[in-house]
Amino acid sequence: MNCERVRPYLTAHAAGELPAHTASWVNPHVEDCPVCSSLSLRHATIRVALRTLPEATVDPPPGFAATVARRAARLKRARPIPIPPMIPPDAIRVLTDNRDAILGSAGVALGAAGVAWIAWRSMRSRKPGPRTA
């Protein structure tokens, strides 16, 4: 049996929570494999230790509630002003209805701009030849 295949089930094995069909192949491996047996024992020890810990309560630092209330009130007062949409709803409908045409035109414009830029760069990179009189 492969230890990597069994390892994800070791925590449930240590807690005794494996389904019967899974336990039927995990238990024999854990009994025969010293590494997996050690890991399962470690999981069981941690489980018992966690169950024996007392429930700890943590008190907030002094003034915590007042500080949170002050900051919440300050944020409530500093609400941003809602900005209405700049594009009217009719324009949005026109844009969404003609999306393919607009994207196609934008693609053609980008292609033309790229060709123009390449032509401009090639003309600027030419060195002037010798002049004849």
Domain ranges of the chain: 3-52, 89-125
Percent of the chain with pLDDT strictly greater than 70: 87
- The reported pLDDT for the residue numbered 129 is 61
Contacting residues for 25 by C-beta, under 8 A, at least 6 apart: 1
- 66: its two tokens: 């007042």
pLDDT in tens, 64-107: 999 999 988 887 776 666 766 677 778 878 888 888 999 999 99
Query: DSSP letter at 87?
Result: S
Answer yes or no: pTM beyond 0.85: no
